[in-house]
Amino acid sequence: MAYSLSLSLLCLGLLCGNGLVSARGSKLFTADPSRGPHFTGCRSREQETFRCWWSAGTFQNLTEPGALRVFYQTKNALSSEWKECPDYTHTVENECYFNKTFTHIWTSYCIQLRSVPQNITYDEACFTVENIVHPDPPIGLNWTLLNVSLSGLHFDILVRWAPPPSADVQTGWMSLVYQVQYRVRNNSQWEMLDLESGTQQSIYGLHTDKEYEVRVRCKMSAFDNFGEFSDSIIVHVAQIASKESTFLTTLVLIFGVIGVVILLILLIFSQQQRLMVIFLPPIPAPKIKGIDPELLKNGKLDQLNSLLSSQDMYKPDFYHEDPWVEFIQLDLDDPAEKNSGSDTQHLLGLSHSDSSRVLNFKSDDDSGRASCYDPETPDPEDLASLLPGHSGRGEQHPLVSRSSSSIPDLGVQQTSEVVETPIQTQPAVPSWVNMDFYAQVSDFTPAGGVVLSPGQLNNSPEKKKEEENEKKKIQLQLLSDGAYTSENMARQLSSDVPPSPSPEQGYQSLPTQAVEGNLWNGEYLVSASDSQTPYLLPEAPPVPILPPVSDYTVVQEVDAQHSLLLNPPSSQPTVCSHSPNKHLPALPTMPMGYLTPDLLGNLTP
């Protein structure tokens, strides 16, 4: 607060005391008539000389030359004496000219306007020369056309000029900056551009068909005093009409294209879904009739299996593909057809009606479990149905080995009551409930019944009698799997050579009189013994009673003819003991069951 007060006091003191010129600017020529004699201004054009002017003011009696005189003083430390104006210009009134000699740069000058006779100092001014420099206007102002816009409505120009000749810019004595101004002709407002330190500047955005005025002025850089303006130049560019029309046409085209593109984009976005369906149709998912694709994806195998089996995929044709069935079909068809009234049929007690019997194997209802045991379907029924009806039948149950002790019973019964109800036989077979799934068929009864192995005695001694009476061998092609058929077997099949026990081959010889012999040895596939008795022999030579043999036999080795050498049980060591064939290495314990191909591979010599 006190600070500001002191400053204001200083201000007053200064103003009242001195009335001096501020160091910033210089006074101009405008004379103040109300005042007494005073300086009207001092100017330097090139920082090398300067002039000062004064006016007598109201004191008209001092207008005579010499009445007022100018004294100056340079504020040097060396001298402080007042000297008179070195040169009063004769041509110009009230002008004092300081030439180069008297012009000291960076030196403060003080001038006084005195009336010598009265010794009155009317005015005083102090300054430094560089502060009163007003450069001359630039020269050589001209313009060149840069370009015209596409529409032909606007153009750009480049304006050039030269520094004033009086200013010594080359040596660096003065550094000038320029300012360009332009306006539409006869307009009052000038457009000012930025300060330019070079000697050219471009003006943009001028209108064609309009006249422009351009002028330039300069000043010392970092100083405030502009010089005078240069002479104005006129700029005018005629409008080119043709370009305008072309421009308009292209403009319309461009906007049209842009509009169309925007419409297309909008259309696409609005109809996105439909377009997607049209251009990128959905890929159809895999579909099975009746099956839900979701079920497939979830992968529940039980349901899947049930579903799949319920389809019509497991048709009866499937059984045609089954080689087991095929084999059965092949073998029995021909003799059946050839000997319609053959002994076989007679012995078997076949009737034509039987041939019409259809084996109800319920293949359609089997649910794909072709090899599975169907408890509802009685086994003896299957076998029995096989016996009378297997001739000419294509569809037969592959597992012929299913048998029970009471099968002959059933077989007998069934021969009488074949057509009607297979189910009726069911209550008649309680005896084999406790039996195993598989049992070996040892013999056939004349009536067509099947005699099981002695291990499981059948309950009908009657059957035995019949068996003894009738010696028939019914060839059941137990060659379930054609893959296991050997060449030997095939030969035997085709030939009518009556089988003879050939222990050399390692087979269990089949007794021609089927009493208690193994009908087949080993696994299903063996049945080579069966092949030896393809046909029923009307006469059965007495067959030595063979000791009871086990149901299954292990395949010991394979001889050179690809015959399987069985491993007899310990009770019958004589059967297969000598084998002239080469001894194969001891086989690993075979599983009591199937001989898989890879195991067969091990057996091959």
Partner 1 sequence: MKKTTVLQVCVAFVLCSLQAVIASAVDCPDQETGGTSCTISLEKLLERAAQHAELIYRVSEESKLLFEEMLVSFGGVNLYVPSGTMCAPKTVSMSKSEIQQISDKWILHSVLILIQFWTNPLADLQASLENYENVSSALLNRSKWMSSKLTSLEQGVVVLIRQILGDGGLLLEVPEETSDHAVSSDMLETVRRDYSVLYCFRKDAHKIETFLKLLKCRQIDKENCSFF
- Using CB under 8 A, list all residues that contact partner 1: 2-4, 6-8, 10-11, 14-15, 18, 20, 22-23, 47-48, 74-77, 100-108, 126, 128, 130, 168, 170-173, 175, 195, 221-224
Q: Which is nearer to partner 1, 30 or 101 (CB)?
A: 101
Contact 578, 559 (CB under 8 A): no
Tokens encoding 22? 């501020």
Report the SS3 class of residue 176: strand
| Alpha-carbon torsion angle 393, 398, 401, 406, nearest 10 | -50
The residues, any chain, with a CB within 8 Å of residue 299's CB and separated by 6 or more, are none
**Minimum Å distance from CB 10 to partner 1?**
5
Q: Which is nearer to partner 1, 8 or 371 (CB)?
A: 8
Report the distance separating Cα 469 and Cα 472, nearest Å: 9
Report the distance separating Cα 174 and Cα 47, nearest Å: 8
**Minimum Å distance from CB 196 to partner 1?**
12
Contact 157, 203 (CB under 8 A): yes
Contact 506, 580 (CB under 8 A): no
For residue 62, what is the DSSP state?
G
Q: Which is nearer to partner 1, 179 or 556 (CB)?
A: 179
The owner of tokens 């003894």 is: 468
**Minimum Å distance from CB 200 to partner 1?**
19
Report the distance separating Cα 133 and Cα 549, nearest Å: 145
Q: What are the backbone angles phi and psi of residue 257, rounded to the nearest 5°?
A: -65, -45
Q: Which is nearer to partner 1, 4 or 495 (CB)?
A: 4
The owner of tokens 């068996």 is: 467
Tokens encoding 503? 């222990």
Q: Which is nearer to partner 1, 224 or 334 (CB)?
A: 224
**Minimum Å distance from CB 80 to partner 1?**
11
**Minimum Å distance from CB 44 to partner 1?**
11
**Minimum Å distance from CB 22 to partner 1?**
6
Q: Which is nearer to partner 1, 76 or 421 (CB)?
A: 76
Contact 68, 113 (CB under 8 A): yes
CA atoms within 13 A on the CB side of 600: 13
**Minimum Å distance from CB 8 to partner 1?**
4
Q: Which is nearer to partner 1, 23 or 268 (CB)?
A: 23
| Alpha-carbon torsion angle 354, 357, 361, 363, nearest 10 | 140
**Minimum Å distance from CB 102 to partner 1?**
7
Q: Which is nearer to partner 1, 42 or 237 (CB)?
A: 42
Q: Which is nearer to partner 1, 171 or 188 (CB)?
A: 171
**Minimum Å distance from CB 185 to partner 1?**
27
Q: Which is nearer to partner 1, 22 or 500 (CB)?
A: 22
Q: Which is nearer to partner 1, 193 or 584 (CB)?
A: 193
Q: Is 522 left (phi over 0), alpha (psi -120 to 50) or beta?
A: left
**Minimum Å distance from CB 103 to partner 1?**
5
CA dist list (Å): 316 to 236, 354, 363, 370, 539: 106, 21, 7, 11, 39
Helices (H), 439-515: 461-469, 487-494
Q: Which is nearer to partner 1, 224 or 365 (CB)?
A: 224
Q: Which is nearer to partner 1, 50 or 212 (CB)?
A: 50
Q: Which is nearer to partner 1, 4 or 577 (CB)?
A: 4
The owner of tokens 């330039």 is: 216
**Minimum Å distance from CB 232 to partner 1?**
24
Q: Which is nearer to partner 1, 22 or 604 (CB)?
A: 22
**Minimum Å distance from CB 198 to partner 1?**
15
**Minimum Å distance from CB 170 to partner 1?**
6
Which helix H or strand E contains 442, and what residues bound it?
A: strand 441-444
DSSP 204-261: EEEETT--EEEEEEEEETT---B------EEE--PPPHHHHHHHHHHHHHHHHHHHHH
**Minimum Å distance from CB 201 to partner 1?**
16
Contact 381, 415 (CB under 8 A): no
Sign of dihedral through CA atoms 527, 528, 533, 534? positive
Report the distance separating Cα 313 and Cα 180, nearest Å: 100
Q: What are the percentages of helix, strand and coil residues in the chain, rounded to 5?
A: 30, 20, 50
Contact 156, 198 (CB under 8 A): no
**Minimum Å distance from CB 111 to partner 1?**
15
Pairing of strands 108-115, 95-98: unpaired
- Reference 527, options 324, 376, 349, 269; nearest CA is 324
